[in-house]
């Protein structure tokens, strides 16, 4: 497994790891019942410290996305719906600063929604 | 699970006063877990080198230091060190140094040393005393990384290196932890710490002003900028750190309720926290980390 990590991003590294794994799950690249790469292998592949990968895996364990099996590694035990819920929570946090900024400039909710809708349609993938 | 967490280094209430009365270290705590890269970050004269020298038992000190749970003199063969003052191999060339290292160290991997010397493109028959500072650093790193130990202690390991080699050295440090080793190093260069440190200690004037990870910094802190007038109007708010620079006040807050309050004020600009901003504000503020209340602004 490989994905890019941006050391300069305001998003913590362990969160970038989690998000990329969520992405792989949503796209069906890894599935329920399959194993995540070992901490060492993923750390080596994406060039981050093993401690950071371990933290990402531990958090995913506490969110019931993976389960640790002694001597084997981390096994995925979740479905897409669970991941969608987590991503919606993250979206909330991501949007907070931006929305406040435009609120302070005096834009209305309708105006912001209109822009969001237009952008959403124009860039539909 | 597949990783064993254990304490590699424990420093409790370390103090060091030199004979001339200079208090270089004023009571600090440090700990390092296995497979961790830990950085001591601070401006020159912060006390970083003295801290490393104390850990290695090269100077007298007050306080308690344990490495692998033991006094350092019992575990010296499990540690490799790159000093700041590179005098040890002065009168030798690279070939002579390798000969000596092979003779005195049982854990010295000569093949690895040869690879590193080739990578750094070091001359074999020139006295190390005549090397540039970057070449000296490269030589010392080659000798240190070729030792198969559990803990690497590196004082300014990128001193004098060009940007490409500097980056490669950081990746070499990362490779050490991927292979199960632990690293403690000093730096005064923020991007170097940002790139590889699991945990960092910000040191200034002999004290530690912050300890934690870069990820924690990004999550738990925000920076707010405002004018003096707006700051005065905030009344009783107290902040993690405040610094006044020319006509702007920079505030660091670690209180999420406060973030929401401040974000809603039109005249205040909010920004994510990163190491660069955090370090600047902490050092310029020259304060103990912790709450700095509004009432101190007359200072």
Report for A7-16, A101-110, B143-152: range of highest mean pLDDT: B143-152
Contact A68 B270 (CB under 8 A): no
Under 8 Å between Cβ of B262 and B212? no
Tell me the nearest-neighbour CA distance from A24 into chain B, angstroms: 23
> Nearest by CB to B35, which of A8, A50, A55?
A50
pLDDT of residue B236: 84
Contact B196 A51 (CB under 8 A): no
Q: Which residue has the tokens 């329920």?
A: A32
Chain-centroid distance, C-alpha B167: 16
- Neighbour-count burial of B244, counting CB atoms closer than 10 A to its CB (0-12 exposed, 13-18 middle, 19+ buried): middle
pLDDT of residue B25: 97
Chain A residues with CB under 8 Å of B174 CB are 47-49
Query: What is the average pLDDT value for chain B, to the nearest integer?
Result: 91
B13 and A CB contact within 8 Å = no
Contact A51 B194 (CB under 8 A): no
- Neighbour-count burial of B229, counting CB atoms closer than 10 A to its CB (0-12 exposed, 13-18 middle, 19+ buried): exposed
Tell me the nearest-neighbour CA distance from A25 into chain B, angstroms: 23
Residue B298 pLDDT more than 80?
no
CA pseudo-torsion sign B160, B162, B163, B169? negative
Under 8 Å between Cβ of B189 and B6? no
Under 8 Å between Cβ of B242 and B280? no
Residue B201 pLDDT more than 50?
yes
Structure confidence by residue, pLDDT tens digits, B260-275: 899 889 899 999 999 9
Run of H or E residues at B95 = helix B94-104
B255 and A CB contact within 8 Å = no
B266 and A CB contact within 8 Å = yes
Contact A39 B3 (CB under 8 A): yes
ipTM: 0.85
Under 8 Å between Cβ of B240 and B292? yes
Structure confidence by residue, pLDDT tens digits, A54-100: 999 999 999 999 999 988 899 999 888 888 888 898 899 889 888 98
pLDDT of residue B299: 34
Structure confidence by residue, pLDDT tens digits, B212-232: 999 999 999 999 999 999 999
pLDDT of residue B52: 97
Contact B1 A68 (CB under 8 A): yes
Average pLDDT over residues B134-146: 96
Under 8 Å between Cβ of B139 and B96? no
The DSSP letter of residue B9 is E
Per-residue tokens: B125:
């028959």
Q: Which residue has the tokens 């497979």?
A: B35
Of residues B12, B7, B40, B58, the one with CA closest to residue B211: B40
Integer angstrom CA distances of residue A31 from A34, A65, A77, A80, B247: 6, 11, 8, 9, 55
Chain A residues with CB under 8 Å of B1 CB are 68, 70, 73-74
Among B7-21, B82-96, B205-219, name the one with the lowest average pLDDT.
Answer: B82-96
Residues 147-186 of chain B with CB under 8 A from chain A are 171, 174, 177-178
**Rounded distance between C-alpha atoms, residue B187 and residue B171, angstroms:** 15
B33 and A CB contact within 8 Å = yes
pLDDT of residue B175: 97
pLDDT of residue A125: 75
Average pLDDT over residues A37-60: 96
Of the residues A5, A50, A104, the best mutation for testing chain B's interface (the one with the most B CB atoms within 10 Å of its CB) is A50
Tell me the nearest-neighbour CA distance from A119 into chain B, angstroms: 25
Run of H or E residues at B31 = strand B23-33
Contact B178 A7 (CB under 8 A): no
Q: What are the start-end ranges of the E strands in chain A? A: 66-69, 73-76
Tell me the nearest-neighbour CA distance from A46 into chain B, angstroms: 11
Residue B290 pLDDT more than 50?
no
Tell me the nearest-neighbour CA distance from A13 into chain B, angstroms: 6
pLDDT of residue B63: 97
**Rounded distance between C-alpha atoms, residue B47 and residue B202, angstroms:** 11
B229 and A CB contact within 8 Å = no
**Confidence category of residue B293, pLDDT binned at 50, 70, 90:** very low
Query: Which residues are paired to B62 by β-bridges?
Result: B15
Residue B289 pLDDT more than 60?
no
**Rounded distance between C-alpha atoms, residue B173 and residue B154, angstroms:** 10
DSSP B199-232: EEEEEETTEEEEEE-HHHHHHH-EEEEE-HHHHH
Run of H or E residues at B191 = helix B190-196
Among A94-98, B61-65, B276-280, name the one with the lowest average pLDDT.
Answer: A94-98
pLDDT of residue B5: 56
The helix-helix angle for A80-104 and A13-26 (nearest 10°) equals 130
Contact B198 A51 (CB under 8 A): yes
B207 and A CB contact within 8 Å = no
pLDDT of residue B86: 80
Of residues B40, B17, B36, the one with CA closest to residue B210: B40
**Rounded distance between C-alpha atoms, residue B32 and residue B200, angstroms:** 10
Query: What is the average pLDDT value for chain A, to the nearest integer?
Result: 92
A56 and B CB contact within 8 Å = no
């Amino acid at each position: 497994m490989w994905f890019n990590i941006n050391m300069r991003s305001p998003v913590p590294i362990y969160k970038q790891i989690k998000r990329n794994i969520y992405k792989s799950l949503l796209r069906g690249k890894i599935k329920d019942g399959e194993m995540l790469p070992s901490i060492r292998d993923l750390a080596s592949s994406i060039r981050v410290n093993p401690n950071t990968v371990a933290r990402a895996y531990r958090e995913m364990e506490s969110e019931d996305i993976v389960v640790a099996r002694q001597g084997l590694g981390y096994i995925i035990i979740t479905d897409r719906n669970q991941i969608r819920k987590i991503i919606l929570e993250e979206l909330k946090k991501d949007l907070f600063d931006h929305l406040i900024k435009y609120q302070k400039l005096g834009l209305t909710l309708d105006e912001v929604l209109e822009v969001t809708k237009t952008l959403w349609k124009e860039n539909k993938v | 699970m597949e990783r064993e967490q254990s304490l590699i280094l424990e420093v409790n209430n370390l103090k060091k006063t030199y004979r001339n009365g200079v208090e270089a270290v004023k009571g600090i705590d440090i700990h390092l877990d296995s497979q961790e890269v830990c950085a001591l970050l601070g401006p020159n004269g912060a006390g970083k080198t003295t801290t490393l020298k104390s850990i290695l038992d090269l100077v007298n000190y007050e306080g308690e230091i344990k490495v692998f749970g033991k006094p350092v003199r019992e575990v010296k063969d499990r540690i490799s060190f790159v000093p700041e003052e590179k005098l040890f191999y002065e009168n030798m060339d690279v070939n002579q140094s390798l000969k000596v290292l092979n003779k005195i160290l049982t854990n010295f991997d000569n093949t690895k040393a040869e690879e590193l010397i080739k990578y750094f493109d070091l001359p074999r028959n020139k006295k190390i005393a005549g090397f540039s500072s970057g070449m000296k650093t490269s030589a010392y790193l080659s000798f240190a990384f070729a030792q198969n130990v559990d803990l690497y202690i590196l004082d300014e390991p990128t001193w004098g290196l060009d940007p490409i080699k500097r980056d490669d050295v950081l990746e070499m440090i990362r490779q050490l932890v991927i292979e199960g080793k632990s690293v403690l190093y000093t730096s005064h260069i923020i991007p170097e710490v940002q790139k590889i440190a699991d945990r960092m200690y910000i040191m200034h004037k002999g004290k530690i002003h912050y300890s934690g990870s870069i990820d924690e910094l990004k999550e738990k802190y925000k920076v707010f900028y405002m004018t003096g007038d707006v700051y005065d109007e905030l009344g009783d708010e107290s902040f993690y750190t405040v610094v006044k620079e020319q006509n702007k006040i920079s505030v660091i807050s670690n209180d999420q309720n406060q973030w929401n309050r401040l974000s809603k004020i039109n005249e205040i600009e909010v920004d994510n926290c990163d190491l660069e901003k955090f370090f600047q504000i902490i050092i310029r503020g020259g304060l103990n980390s912790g709450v700095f209340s509004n009432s101190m602004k007359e200072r």
